[in-house]
């Protein structure tokens, strides 16, 4: 695996789960990688040590996705540490679920700030560094396309908004050959949604292939979209959910 040799990638929310798997896969493909974390400094440093042991240049950067200044500074810091940026992966996100009538203004503001605004600001900041042919990849959710139950409206709305952003930005950046895409994972076995968790039976029942996805599977798709062979994949969503939305 060497399709990303010489590339420099920044992965937000890269200290655990899908983000950590993406960082590992991009590094395995040859990229140098910066990861952003909010509070899990120790976990982030373990990922960095793992990537460095594999021969890649890697760094961890603290970022509060709810803070515009922190997002911009993290992108600038990643570019400074890596000597530029070729790939931005917007992975950081939060989920606030529950009945609509119980949503607080803080829940709404936090969700919009982290799941939408941070993606826009990171993408905007990255444009100062991305070369022609660069990549912007956001991690969405299959819940952006179908909402199978109650209590998901705020989260689903925030991920659905990224579809419009992806399509519009792909048009804006097309003249530079920069592709912009969104990957929609379904139920993926992580500490946030373990395959053995209390809601797993209902999620499995939706799937055509009744097996939770692996973070490594999502990472493999992201790595492909980041590579040269995906140069014509642009402005689109790629769903990896075992057929739950089929």
- Token readout for 144 is 């952006």
Residue 180 near residue 169 (C-beta atoms within 8 A)? yes
Determine phi and psi for 185, rounding to 5 degrees.
Answer: -75, 150
Cβ–Cβ under 8 Å, residues 34 and 89:
no
Which structure tokens are listed for 180?
């912009």
Q: How far apart are CA 134 and CA 7, in angstroms?
A: 9
Phi, psi of 162 (to 5 degrees): -70, -20
DSSP labels, 89-107: EE-------S-GGG--HHH
The helix (run of H) or strand (run of E) holding residue 59 is: strand 58-62
Beta partners for residue 213, in sequence order: 188
- Tokens 């939770």 locate to 212
Which residues have a catalytic role annotated? 155
Q: Give the number of C-alpha atoms closer than 13 A to the C-alpha of residue 55, restricted to the C-beta side.
A: 6
Helix, strand and coil percent figures for the chain, each rounded to 5: 45, 15, 40
- Residue 16 to residue 19: CA distance in whole angstroms: 6
CB 99 within 8 A of CB 145: no
């Amino acid at each position: 695996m060497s399709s990303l040799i010489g590339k420099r990638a920044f992965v937000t929310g890269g200290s655990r789960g899908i983000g950590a798997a993406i960082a590992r896969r991009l590094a395995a493909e040859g990229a140098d990688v910066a990861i952003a974390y909010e509070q899990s400094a120790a976990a982030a440093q373990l990922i960095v040590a793992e990537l460095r042991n594999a021969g890649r240049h890697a760094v961890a950067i603290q970022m509060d996705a709810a803070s515009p200044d922190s997002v911009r500074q993290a992108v600038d810091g990643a570019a400074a540490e890596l000597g530029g940026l070729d790939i931005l992966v917007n992975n950081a996100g939060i989920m606030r679920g529950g009945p609509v009538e119980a949503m607080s203004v803080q829940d709404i503001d936090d969700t919009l700030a982290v799941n939408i605004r941070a993606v826009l600001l990171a993408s905007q900041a990255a444009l100062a560094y991305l070369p022609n042919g660069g990549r912007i990849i956001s991690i969405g959710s299959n819940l952006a396309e179908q909402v199978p139950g109650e209590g998901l409206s705020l989260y689903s709305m925030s991920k659905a908004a990224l579809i419009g952003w992806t399509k519009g930005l792909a048009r804006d950046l097309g003249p530079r050959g920069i592709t912009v895409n969104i990957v929609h994972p379904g139920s993926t076995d992580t500490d946030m949604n373990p395959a053995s968790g209390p809601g797993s039976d209902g999620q499995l029942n939706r799937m055509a292939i009744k097996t939770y996805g692996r973070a490594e599977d999502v990472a493999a798709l992201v790595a492909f979209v980041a590579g040269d062979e995906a140069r014509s994949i642009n402005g689109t969503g790629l769903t990896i959910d075992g057929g739950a939305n089929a």
